[in-house]
Amino acid sequence: MLKASATSLPLGPANILSLLHEQVDLYAELAGYADEQRSLVTKEDIDPLLTVLAKRQRLSARLGEVVQRLEPVRKDWATHRTRFDSTQRLEAEGLLADIGSRLRVLIDRDEEDVRILSARKQAVTSAMRSTHSTGQALCAYRDDGFGTARMTHLDEAS
What is the C-alpha separation between 143 and 147, in angstroms, rounded? 7
Read off the CATH number of the domain in which 73 is found.
Answer: 1.20.58
Q: What's the domain count of the chain?
A: 1
pLDDT in tens, 50-104: 999 999 999 999 999 999 999 999 999 999 999 999 999 999 999 999 999 999 9
Spatial distance between the Cα atoms of 61 and 43, rounded to a whole number of angstroms: 27
Residue 102 lies in a domain: yes
Q: Is residue 147 part of a domain?
A: no
Cβ atoms of 142 and 152 within 8 Å: the answer is yes
Could you list the residue range(s) of the whole structural domain that residue 91 is in?
13-118
Whole-angstrom distance, CA of residue 20 vs CA of residue 129: 50
pTM of the model as a whole: 0.69
User: Which tens digits make up the pLDDT trace of 99-148?
Assistant: 999 999 999 998 998 888 787 777 667 666 666 555 565 555 565 555 55
CA 36 → CA 17, 56, 74, 102, distances in Å? 29, 11, 31, 16
Give the contacts of 152 (CB within 8 A, at least 6 positions apart): 141, 142
